[in-house]
Structure 1
C-alpha cells in the first residue's frame, strides 16, 4: 500500500475491507466510512500505469461527479492527486449482469425493464455530450431488487474531445464494439446504443453474440449481423435489429430505446423499415440492408479488451455471404448497365469522333428541304440535268434508238 493508506485506512477515514473487483487499471474494495458510518465502494488506481491510464481514472471521477441519475453509481468522495488516487462510490450490493447471465437468459419482461432503465441512463449521459464506450454486462451492476446501474466510466469520452489513445488504437471490449469502433473511425452516441443492443440480445438469449478471441469477436460483426431470434415479439425484435444496425445513422437514440422498451411501442421509420410503402410490419432481410463487404474492405484498425492493433485485420474477408448481401454489394460497387433490346425497331448507332476503320462513310440521302436549299444556292444551272456515264438520252435530241 502507498503511504496514504495506514492500517488499511484510506485518507484517515475509509477502512478498506475485502476486494470486490479487479480491473486493468484499478481495483474496487468494500470499505467502511468511519465518519458517516456506512459501507461504500472504493476504487483504487493501481500504481505503475502510464499517464494515459491515470488521465482516464481522473476522467472517470470528473464524469461521474457531473452526472446524476438513478441508474448511475453516485460519487461520494475522491482524491486523484495523492499517492494513491481513489474515488468513493455508492456500494451496490449484488452481482453484475455478467454474473446473472451465467445462470441463463432473463425473462423478457425483466429484460425490457432492465433495458429501459439502462437506455434512460445512457440518454442522460449522452445529453451531457459524453460517450460511455464500454457498455457490457460486467459494467452493469444489479442490486438485490434487480435494479441495474451503469458503472465504469473510465473510458467515457467527451464528443469532439481529443482521444486518449493513439490514432491506430481504440479502447473497449471486443465483443461489444460497434462496427465504427472496429473500423477505427470517429464514434458518437450510436456506439453506446449498439453495445446496449448486444447486451439486451444476450439477456434474452443467454449467450454472447460474438465469441472467440478478441480479434475474432471484434471482426465477426463485419461479417454478419447479430442473429436476433425470430420468436421474439415483433417490437422487441425490430428494436434490437435497429439498435445493432451496422450504420450509426440508422440506430435509434437511447431516449427512443428507453421509450420503446418501456411502452412496447414499435420504432417505425428505423433501420430496415419502409413506412411509406407496403405493410410497415414487413421488413427487408437484414443481409440486404447491411453493406458488410464494404465494411470489411474498409477495416483498418481493431481493438480488443483494452487496446489491440489490427493492421492485419484488413486481410480478413468473409467466408460466406447470403445471396441478398452479395446482390447488394454488387449493386453498390457498380451501377447496372442497360441491356439493349433485341426487338428494338430502331437500334441506337454508336457515335464516333473521326472515321473509325471499317465504318460506312456513305452520306445519308438528302431531305426535300435540303435539296431545295441546294438548288437555290446553285442557281439555274442546278436545274439542268447532266448526262451521266452510260446515259442513252440527251435533252432536245432523239436517243440513239429514237425515231
Structure 2
C-alpha cells in the first residue's frame, strides 16, 4: 500500500509521507480529518480469514485501553481492503536504534531510558499484555528526555494475522528474542524483560550481544548467556545477568528492573528480589554483592542448603550447555544449511521446527 493507491482510510485518515516500512507493515504520517490532528498509521499485511479479522479487532481493543506516559498510544484500528491498520499517537524523535548507530550511550542515559521503558512494560504487564518485540527501533527518544515504547502488542497481532499459532508465536526480532521465543515455547512477560536486558546491554556497549543471521542468533541464546563485559560496573552486570537469565522464572519483573535502573541513575545500588526466596528480599552491600536480610538469623540458617541446591542446579545447567555446544560444534563433515536458511541437522530435534519457523517468519534484523 502506498499513499498513491490509498489516500484516505475510512473517510478519516489521510495518508501523507511514509515514515518507515518493514516485513509486516508500512507506517505513514497521516491527518485525522475528524479531530484535525497528525497521527501515525501502521498498515499491516492482508488478512482474509474472518476469524483472524475478529481476533485482530479484539486485540486492538485491548491495546487501545493501555494508557501510560511511556507508551505510544493506540488510538484506533480498522480494516480496509483486507489490510488491517492501526492509528497511533505521532511521536517525533529518533529511535534508540538510530542513536546506537553512532555507538554506546553514557551509562546515566541508559539508566534513565531503562527506567522509563521498564516502567511502561510493568504497567502493560499488570494489564495482562506482553510486548513480544522489545528492540531499539521500538524505543523512541523525544526531545524532552522522554523514552517511549512503541508497537506494544503489534508483534502479537501480526503473529495472529500470519497464523503463526504455535504456543507463544515466534514473531519478533531475532537479535532480541528471549530463548523461549526462539524455541517456540510459551511466552510470558519475562520475555520482555530478557529483550530489554539485551537492549540495555547494547546501549551500554555499542554492540549486539548476539550478532549474526537470524538462525545463528537464535541458536546462540539457546546454549549461552550473553557475554557480560567485565568493564561494566558491578550493579549493571548483576542487573543485566539477572534480566537475561535463560530460565524465565529467574528473571526480575519489569517493575523490579525499573526500580533497579532508577537506583543506578541516582547513584545508589539496586536491590533485586530473589525469585526463589521471595519472603526474604535481597539487600546489596557496598561492594555490589547481594545478601539476604535476616530476622534473628533465620534467613542465614536457610542459606546453606539453598546455596548447595543452587550449586547443583548450576552444575546441571552448565552440563546441559556444554552438551548442546558439543552438539552444535561443526564436525568434520559440514551440515547442509543452504546458505544459512535451514536449521543445522545437529541441532537438538525439539528445536528444529521452531527455529525453522523463526527463520521463515522473521525478515527484519532489528
**Structure 1 counterpart SS, 2:154:** coil
Any gaps of 5 or more consecutive residues in structure 1? 158-162, 300-307, 317-403
**Structure 2 counterpart SS, 1:15:** strand
Q: Mark the CA change 1:309 to 1:135 in structure 2 (over 3 Å): closer, same or farther.
A: farther
1:11 lines up with 2:37 in the alignment: no
Count of matched residue pairs = 301
**Per-residue CA shift, 1:323-380, capped at 9, x if unaligned?**
xxxxxxxxxxxxxxxxxxxxxxxxxxxxxxxxxxxxxxxxxxxxxxxxxxxxxxxxxx
> Given that residues 47 and 83 in structure 2 are in contact (C-alpha distance below 8 angstroms), is that contact kept between their aligned partners in structure 1?
no
> Given that residues 165 and 171 in structure 1 are in contact (C-alpha distance below 8 angstroms), is that contact kept between their aligned partners in structure 2?
no
Q: State the Cα distance separating 1:141 from its structure 2 match.
A: 1.9
Matching residue of 1:244: 244
> Given that residues 224 and 321 in structure 2 are in contact (C-alpha distance below 8 angstroms), is that contact kept between their aligned partners in structure 1?
no
**Structure 2 counterpart SS, 1:103:** coil
For structure 1, which segment, 199-208 or 76-85, has the greater mean C-alpha deviation from structure 2 after superposition?
76-85
> Given that residues 297 and 314 in structure 1 are in contact (C-alpha distance below 8 angstroms), is that contact kept between their aligned partners in structure 2?
no
Any gaps of 5 or more consecutive residues in structure 2? 158-162, 291-306, 326-340, 350-366
Q: State the Cα distance separating 1:37 from its structure 2 match.
A: 2.5
Matching residue of 2:347: 314
Matching residue of 2:303: none
Matching residue of 1:150: 149
> Given that residues 77 and 89 in structure 1 are in contact (C-alpha distance below 8 angstroms), is that contact kept between their aligned partners in structure 2?
yes
Alignment of 1:135-214 (within 5 A): 135-152=134-151, 153-156=153-156, 164-166=164-166, 170-214=170-214
Q: State the Cα distance separating 1:191 from its structure 2 match.
A: 1.0
> Given that residues 47 and 53 in structure 2 are in contact (C-alpha distance below 8 angstroms), is that contact kept between their aligned partners in structure 1?
no
> Given that residues 245 and 271 in structure 1 are in contact (C-alpha distance below 8 angstroms), is that contact kept between their aligned partners in structure 2?
no
**Structure 2 counterpart SS, 1:77:** strand
**Structure 2 counterpart SS, 1:262:** helix
Q: d(CA) in 1 for partners of 2:318 and 2:172?
A: 21
Matching residue of 1:294: 320
> Given that residues 260 and 272 in structure 2 are in contact (C-alpha distance below 8 angstroms), is that contact kept between their aligned partners in structure 1?
no
Q: State the Cα distance separating 1:196 from its structure 2 match.
A: 0.5
Matching residue of 2:100: 101
Q: State the Cα distance separating 1:81 from its structure 2 match.
A: 6.6
**Structure 2 counterpart SS, 1:36:** coil
Q: Mark the CA change 1:172 to 1:45 in structure 2 (over 3 Å): closer, same or farther.
A: closer
> Given that residues 222 and 292 in structure 1 are in contact (C-alpha distance below 8 angstroms), is that contact kept between their aligned partners in structure 2?
no
Computed over aligned residues only, the root mean square deviation of the Cα atoms, in angstroms, reads 3.9
> Given that residues 18 and 29 in structure 1 are in contact (C-alpha distance below 8 angstroms), is that contact kept between their aligned partners in structure 2?
yes
Matching residue of 1:256: 256
Q: Mark the CA change 1:68 to 1:5 in structure 2 (over 3 Å): closer, same or farther.
A: farther
Q: d(CA) in 2 for partners of 1:144 and 1:52?
A: 41
**Structure 1 counterpart SS, 2:38:** strand
Matching residue of 1:266: 270
Larger proportion of helix: 2
Q: d(CA) in 1 for partners of 2:215 and 2:100?
A: 23
Alignment of 1:32-43 (within 5 A): 32-43=31-42
Q: State the Cα distance separating 1:133 from its structure 2 match.
A: 1.3
**Structure 1 counterpart SS, 2:28:** strand
Q: Mark the CA change 1:168 to 1:61 in structure 2 (over 3 Å): closer, same or farther.
A: closer
> Given that residues 256 and 273 in structure 2 are in contact (C-alpha distance below 8 angstroms), is that contact kept between their aligned partners in structure 1?
no
TM-score normalised per structure 1: 0.64
Q: d(CA) in 2 for partners of 1:279 and 1:73?
A: 38
Q: d(CA) in 2 for partners of 1:232 and 1:290?
A: 28
**Structure 1 counterpart SS, 2:347:** helix
TM-score normalised per structure 2: 0.70
Q: d(CA) in 2 for partners of 1:204 and 1:52?
A: 44
Q: State the Cα distance separating 1:61 from its structure 2 match.
A: 2.2
For structure 1, which segment, 187-196 or 56-65, has the greater mean C-alpha deviation from structure 2 after superposition?
56-65
Q: d(CA) in 2 for partners of 1:296 and 1:167?
A: 27
Q: d(CA) in 2 for partners of 1:181 and 1:7?
A: 35
